[in-house]
Structure formats: structure tokens, C-alpha cells
Amino acid sequence: MALIDEITKRRTFAVIAHPDAGKTTLTEKLLLFGGAIHVAGAVKSNKIKKGATSDFMEIERQRGISVATSVMGFNYKDVKINILDTPGHEDFAEDTYRTLTAVDSVIIVIDGAKGVEAQTLKLMNVCRMRNTPVMVFINKLDRPCKDPFDLLDEVERELQIRVRPLAFPISSGDTFKGVYNIYEKNLSLFTSDERQTADASTVDFSDISSPELDGYITKQYADQLRENLDMVEAVYDDFDREAYLEGKLAPVFFGSAVNNFGVRELLECFIRIAPSPRPSTTETRQVEPAEAKMSGFVFKIHANMDPNHRDRIAFMKICSGTFERNKNYLHVRSGKQLKFSSPTAFMAEKKSVIDFAYPGDIVGLHDTGTFKIGDTFTEGEKLKFTGIPSFSPELFRYIENADPMKFKQLAKGVDQLMDEGVAQLFTSSLNGRKIIGTVGQLQFEVIQYRLEHEYGAKCRWEPISIHKACWIESDNQEQLADFKRRKHSNMAVDKHGRDVFLADTSYALALAQENFKDIRFYFTSEF
Ligand code: G4P
């Protein structure tokens, strides 16, 4: 098949949600439709259950599952779908942000009773930065939900994106009757004994004014639906696919994932309107997927769970051309030519060695510790893909060696965990002490546990009071030098030797920004 056909048939996306909204459930149902799995319950929730923050087995279990479900590929009709999994726990949000750099679109799941929640907002901000097209699935209609119009308004207001319902629910909770699919002009009837099966009963209804409708959902609900649909047509413009592709308009669907209701309609629309692989931006130029030469970047690195095999898997998104097994590629950062004898692809739950991969696909590369997040592979051109976010840590601690005999192991462990993007390392200019910055409390526990179990090293944490880490830069070298001298006790360098200002308080930061006008303060750094 020609490269262009391979590209056109691919859809690479992620399902994102606030924990508990139904991301895992929806993913599972999508896989059921794709025939990638055959029974419900095959995709385990990758979330760390509440109250389990100290349960390291749970962390390990989560890591194990997330390797298995990192990428789930399947075919539906003529389309090759790649779903990229994102961690459920918000302490791992950074992992999610990086995964979002590798997708071409996103499906956001919202709990119809709760509406837009905190984590959804944060994730949407990342999508907005990248103009990622988003579709919204409002879930749990089998439970009493907020009014659909209120939900649509809430999505529009909170997520700051125009919406266009392509489905509309008929009541919710105990009186939930079904969903009218505006996009397909048919009615899906809800009967709760459909739990966990693949087919809901649908009735074609191009003319909803037909009295027949009353027979299906009673006159009261039929009238209400007619009224609501009139309102939809009056309030919302026609669905504009271009606006969706530009990330400016979100089509909205309603359903109940656990009942597999409304999911087929979502998937059918998704394969029709969601984008195939889009061009990627590099520091020098735009890379088009259909370019003959292969290029791709690493967006995630996963350590092996088995401490006897310290190797890792680097996940590379193919951005252009055809990736081939055993072909030499330039690892741009090191300048070395590398070839991969056993690159893997992920189809459903199976990992298998592949000979070829195309734009939109994710390839697993065996890594012995040489790769970093953001690394680029090409056929010779020195490209560097941009927009892979490094995060601004919010929690800080000194890391101390608790076993003097294991100094080397600790250094190596810390180094490799940082490459995986688990946390960030800073070295204080004042005393040379190492500081670890994370976005979640849990990460300190994960680091300590992994250092011990994977590297045989022991660490101890000591408190340090830092409000924020900011990378600083200036064209005014004199001012920069002055700043560094005055703030000596708050200066540090990151892993790449870049200057970082560790502000004690928000006041100190504001004051520094006020007094040193020529200095640029960055709250994230790109890897
Ligand atoms: P997440 O990945 O977004 O965190 O959510 P997940 O799919 O794990 O779903 C969270 C809970 O919501 C699960 O219940 C799941 O069964 C339930 N759920 C998902 N979709 C629907 C729906 O359409 N209607 C209703 N009523 N519930 C739904 P749980 O009790 O936490 O777990 P489980 O024991 O059922 O697996």
C-alpha cells in the first residue's frame, strides 16, 4: 500500500478525563468494537486506587499495566486506530502531557453528573496549546445527570471551546430513554439489560416529527426531544469539520460507557471526522507525514519492571516516511547511527516485532539507557521536534544518599529516572546538593522505591522550601550575571547545565521579575 494510503487510514488519539469519569471503561468499549478484545474487563484500570498512595505493589502493578496498555492498536472497518493510554493518577499528569504531544486528536470523557472537573481543565489547556482537535463524550447518562444544555454551556465556558452536539440525550438516570444521534439521524434506545454487550438497539428516524417516535419513548419524552432538537438547531451552527480540525470546535456525544451505549456512534463519527497524522513542527521546519524520509521522536520511556533486566522501552511516534526494521537511523542528539532489530508494535494487548511502521504509529524501541524523552530519529537530517513539554515542578526535596557504599548506583538510578521524565533534578549553586522536583507527592515515593528495587540504592529526603523553579535567560549578560550573583543562594543548574532560579515564595519571584526586566523567566523547559 502506498505511504499516503497508510497515512490516510490512521487515527492516533488519546482518551483523557478526570479520574473516575470513565476513561478506562470507554477505552475498553472502543476496543470491543474493534474486536481487539472480546470480553469486558480485559483492560484493567491503570489508576492507583484512592488511599493506596503508600502501596508500592499498587504502583508496580500500575506501571506493569501501563506498559501493556501504553498503546493499543486495532483496526475498525478500514481504519487503523492507535489509542495512547494516559495514566489515571494526577501525580503522573506530566506523563499525560507528553503523551498528548504524540496524538493527532483527543476524546475527552466527562461525567454527566459532575460536569467539567479540575483535571479535565488542565488537560484541555495542553490540547489548546497545540490546537489538538477534541471530541467530547458525556458519560454516565444512566445516572441522574445535569441538564444537557447546562452541560454544553459548562463545557463551552470551562474548556473555552465552542461546542456542537452531534447527539442528544433523552432524560437521564432512571428515566433515561436513549440518545438521538443528530449526526446519523437515528435513535438509539436504551434498555439497561444491554449492559456490557456490543449492540444497543437503534431505530432509524430521519423524521422525528413522526408520531411513531411517541411509541418508542412516550409522547412526553418525544415532545421534549423535538423541542430540544429545535433548540439545538437554533442555538448552534451546523457542524463545521474545519473548525473541529483546527481545535476550535468540539463535537459532543452523550452516552453511558459502562452500558456500551452511545459508543458505536462516537466511534463511527470519530473514524469519519478525526484527523489522520498531521504535520509536526521542528526547530527548523514543518515535517509532513507524506515525506519519503522517516522521522520520529521519543515521547515516553518505560523501564522494565523486572529488576534483573534493566532495559527500557522507548516509545517513538513516527512523524514521516516509513520506519523499517534493521535500517540505520540517525539518533540526532548523539550523532550516532542506530538500527533496531526488534522494534515492536502494539496491537490490542499483544506486543509483536514489526518490519514497517507508518506516520501515526507508535514503535517500541529497545533502550539500554541511551535515549531521552524528546530524542529524534531521522534518515540524516538534524531535526528537533518542538513542543514536548517539560514541566514546572511544584514539590521539592533534597535527595541524600542513605547508603555510602551505593553512591554510584544512586547516581545512575537518579540519572535514568530523570531521563524517563519521572521528575527533575537540580544542583544547588550554593552547596552542590541535589534537589528533586516533582509535580506530585507520590513521585517521591515512587523514586525511592524504584531506586531501591531497580538500582539497589537507598535515598533519604530532606525538606527544602521552594515555591517555584524557573529557567532564566537573558540577552543582557551583565544583568544576568548580576542576578546570579545576588541570588546565588537560590540558583541551581538543571541536568543540562541551564540556569534555574529557585524562588522561595511567590513574592520573591514577583520581585525578581519586577527588578530584572531583561531576564526572561520560563516556568517550563523543553527537554
Ligand atoms: P477512569 O478510567 O476515568 O478513572 O474511570 P473508569 O472507567 O475506571 O470508571 C470509573 C467508575 O465509573 C467505574 O466504577 C465504572 O464502572 C463507572 N462507570 C463508567 N462508565 C459508566 C457509566 O456509563 N455509567 C455508570 N453508572 N458508571 C460508569 P467503579 O465502581 O469505580 O469500578 P468498577 O468496580 O465498576 O470497575
Span 107-147, pLDDT tens digits: 999 999 999 999 899 889 889 888 999 999 999 999 999 99
Question: Which one of 111, 258, 260 would you pick to mutate in the ligand 1 pocket, going by the greatest count of ligand atoms within 8 A of its CB?
Answer: 258
Average pLDDT over residues 356-361: 96
Average pLDDT over residues 503-517: 94
Q: Please give the pLDDT value at position 198.
A: 46
Name the range with the highest mean pLDDT among 63-67, 134-138, 390-394.
134-138
Please say whether the beta carbons of 447 and 389 come within 8 A. Answer: no
Query: b/e map of 431-458 (b: 16 or more CB within 10 Å)?
Result: eeebbbbbbbebbbbbbbebbbebbebb
Please say whether the beta carbons of 151 and 112 come within 8 A. Answer: yes
Q: 474-496 pLDDT, tens per residue?
A: 999 999 999 999 999 999 999 88
Ligand 1, atom nearest to 259 Cα = 23
Cell of 427: 544542583
Q: Please give the pLDDT value at position 51.
A: 43
Domains in the chain (CATH in brackets) are 2-273 (3.40.50.300), 280-378 (3.40.50.300), 395-522 (3.30.70.3280)
Q: Cβ atoms within 10 A of the Cβ of 389, count?
A: 20
Ligand 1, atom nearest to 26 Cα = 7
Task: Look at residue 527 and tell me whether its pLDDT is greater than 70.
Answer: no
Question: Residue 94: pLDDT band by 50, 70, 90 thresholds?
Answer: confident
Which residue's CA is the closest to the ligand 1 atom numbered 4?
20
Q: Cβ atoms within 10 A of the Cβ of 505, count?
A: 12
Task: Look at residue 35 and tell me whether its pLDDT is greater than 80.
Answer: no
Average pLDDT, the chain: 87
Q: For residue 128, how far is its CA from the centre of ligand 1 (angstroms)? A: 27
Cell of 489: 543562594
Please say whether the beta carbons of 343 and 355 come within 8 A. Answer: no
Q: Which residue has the cell 513574592?
A: 507
Task: Look at residue 360 and tell me whether its pLDDT is greater than 90.
Answer: yes
Question: Residue 335: pLDDT band by 50, 70, 90 thresholds?
Answer: very high
Ligand 1 neighbours by CB, cut-off 6 Å: 17, 19-25, 45, 47, 88, 139-140, 142-143, 256-259
Ligand 1, atom nearest to 19 Cα = 4
Task: Look at residue 213 and tell me whether its pLDDT is greater than 90.
Answer: no
Q: 412-459 pLDDT, tens per residue?
A: 999 888 888 878 999 999 999 999 998 888 889 888 988 998 889 999
Which residue's CA is the closest to the ligand 1 atom numbered 36?
45
Q: Please give the pLDDT value at position 399.
A: 96
Q: Which residue has the higher pLDDT, 439 or 318?
A: 318
Q: For residue 274, how far is its CA from the centre of ligand 1 (angstroms)? A: 25
Alpha helices in 357-492 (DSSP H): 407-419, 441-455, 477-486
Question: Residue 42: pLDDT band by 50, 70, 90 thresholds?
Answer: low
Cα-based distances in Å from 45 to 49, 99, 267, 305: 9, 18, 21, 18
pLDDT above 90 covers a percentage of the chain that reads 61
Q: Please give the pLDDT value at position 510.
A: 94
Please say whether the beta carbons of 216 and 189 come within 8 A. Answer: yes
CA distance 97 to 86: 9
**For strand 350-353 and strand 434-438, is the pairing parallel, antiparallel, or unpaired?**
unpaired
Query: Residue 380: left (phi > 0), alpha (psi -120 to 50), or beta?
Result: left
Task: Look at residue 191 and tell me whether its pLDDT is greater than 80.
Answer: no
Task: Look at residue 189 and tell me whether its pLDDT is greater than 80.
Answer: yes
**For strand 79-84 and strand 186-189, is the pairing parallel, antiparallel, or unpaired?**
unpaired
Task: Look at residue 511 and tell me whether its pLDDT is greater than 50.
Answer: yes
Q: Please give the pLDDT value at position 525.
A: 61
Q: For residue 23, how far is its CA from the centre of ligand 1 (angstroms)? A: 8
Please say whether the beta carbons of 249 and 260 come within 8 A. Answer: no
Q: Please give the pLDDT value at position 62.
A: 61
Q: pTM of this prediction? A: 0.84
Closest CA to 200 of 32, 348, 77: 32
Question: Which one of 20, 47, 49, 69 would you pick to mutate in the ligand 1 pocket, going by the greatest count of ligand atoms within 8 A of its CB?
Answer: 20
Q: Please give the pLDDT value at position 1.
A: 76
Q: 259-311 pLDDT, tens per residue?
A: 888 998 999 999 999 999 999 999 999 999 999 999 999 998 887 655 566 67
Choose the weakest-confidence range: 1-10, 316-325, 373-382, 437-446. Answer: 437-446
Q: Which residue has the higher pLDDT, 33 or 178?
A: 178
Task: Look at residue 231 and tell me whether its pLDDT is greater than 50.
Answer: yes
Choose the weakest-confidence range: 285-294, 387-396, 456-465. Answer: 387-396
Which residue's CA is the closest to the ligand 1 atom numbered 14?
20
Ligand 1, atom nearest to 28 Cα = 7
Q: Please give the pLDDT value at position 122.
A: 84
